[in-house]
Amino acid sequence: MSLIRDAGTSLSASFTSGDHIITPRGILSLQGTFVPLTPISSRCYFVDGGSGILMSSPDFCVVIVRTAGMVFSGGACTKRIQRTQIVTVRAIDGKPTFELETFPKSSVMKFDGIHEDLKRGTYPCLPEDIITLHRRLQELQLALNLCQGCKEIDAMNADDFLVLDGELRAQTLFEEKVLKEITELHANTVGVVKQTGSFTNTGSHANRVLLELGPKGTWLYTQNDLPTGFVRLHARSSHVFRIDSTNSEVLARAANVLSFLSNDALLAGYPYGLIAVDNLAKVSTSELAVERLSLLTTPLAKQLVEHPHAFF
């Protein structure tokens, strides 16, 4: 048992006030500021996406991709939008080149499997990687539509907040153009990172460190003019989220607005707009089962069933 104790002691990384937290958008020292939050009601537009694989193999896949948006005002959902596609990706020409096609609004795009933003190390990407990128682009496109206004939902006002699930940064060149359009159209845009994955330079998890150092109430932890920070949105919460924003002023206002939407009795400290839009975008296992049966009635069925590496 002493070996177990030794292992536990080794893994319980310590930290000092001289340490710093490393994030994709900057470095925060542990001498930053915990700013108390004041809940503020403001209209928020939440956007998220989901997907589910119907059939897949190393050279093709058929997937349901869904994006969703919800408007919350005064703590209640006032409007919602949901868009669903069937997406196919297949390798073409015997090369690491993939063709993506969407239904019902049929559009075809080609991707180079060894593109720097897509490949896995020195290996070409897989069809699922193309789907992941496509889903992210569909989320950003819906967010852009909400900024501009669409038939389902009116355009945002300058004081409204657009809340994306995930980082507010482009991880590929494909995303960069759309994300730039969004932030130029609407400054009050933030990304909420639920699984921060941030650590200190000595290996301690940022969430644990900040919960130990921070006050008992709600707070925003930030430093100087960085457009990113960490928030605790309810006094009883053990959740710490990272928020990315367009600038430090938007970051501070967004933290107060999100704290207003984080009083759910079951998930205190978790913005229920994010919970609701995640559920709206989710592709359930029962839905996948029904759609797989539908797919097996198509002319493609025989080819898929006989494919040596396909799985359902």
Summarize the confidence of residues 281-308 as an average pLDDT. 77
pTM: 0.88
Q: pLDDT by residue (tens digit) across 151-162?
A: 778 778 999 999
More reliable by pLDDT, 243 or 312 = 243
- Return the beta strands (E) in 7-94 as ranges: 20-23, 26-29, 33-36, 44-57, 60-73, 76-92
- Nearest Cα to Cα of residue 144 among 78, 246, 248, 47: 47
Coil/strand/helix, residue 22:
strand
Q: Greatest CA separation found in the chain?
A: 65
**Beta partners for residue 192, in sequence order:** 165, 243
- The per-residue pLDDT for 26 is 78
Average of pLDDT values for 113-138? 87
Are 198 and 242 in contact by the 8 Å Cβ rule? The answer is yes
Residues 125-136: b if buried by 16+ CB within 10 A, e if exposed: bbbebbbbbbbb
Among the ranges given (94-98, 154-158, 159-163, 189-193), the one the predictor scored with the smallest mean pLDDT: 94-98
Q: Where are the alpha helices (DSSP H) in the chain?
A: 2-11, 127-148, 173-185, 206-213, 248-260, 272-281, 285-295, 301-306
